[in-house]
Amino acid sequence: MENGLTLLQRLAICFTAGVLGGLAVVLFSLILFGAGISAAFGVMAPASLKAPEIYRPLFWGGLWGIPFGFIIKAAWKRLYLVGFLYVLAPVLALYIVFLPMRGAGYFGLMHGGILFTVYLLLVNLPYGIITAVVAGAIIGKKP
């Protein structure tokens, strides 16, 4: 080990941080729904907190945390900025892979139009920053 954590340790930490980032997205969904903002975007239900539905965003959050573990050492000096921008990776995958697989079309445009696309970006915004904050808190001073 050279002056800091091993790669495996960083990956494990970022997996855990990603799970908490996924939880932040679910909770933010509930906040947006409770405030009536979701309905303005055509979303009529918040993310579920019940099993087994809750496990999907937590699992995917953890998986998306793993690539963050590969870059966290290089991004350490600008961790929060990189974390904020990191949300673009899973959202882009959602837009061009997962939504079309579910029949919603690219960017979810067949499901709810451009408002739905914007909502998905909005609701996922906490992911990257929470993942970065949690990983930074666990790691401490040097990755």
pLDDT at 96: 97
Residue 23 lies in a domain: yes
pLDDT at 88: 96
Average pLDDT for 37-41: 95
Give the residue numbers spanning the domain of 23.
7-139
Residue 1 lies in a domain: no
Residue 21 lies in a domain: yes
Counted domains in the chain: 1
Average pLDDT for 102-130: 95
The tokens of 31 are what? 């906040």
pLDDT at 1: 39
| Residue 3 confidence (pLDDT) above 90 | no
pLDDT tier at 20, thresholds 50, 70, 90: very high
The structure's pTM equals 0.92
CA 72/CA 68 separation, integer angstroms: 6
The tokens of 101 are what? 């697989």
CA 76/CA 69 separation, integer angstroms: 11
Average pLDDT for 65-90: 96
Residue 106 lies in a domain: yes
pLDDT at 112: 86
Residue 2 lies in a domain: no
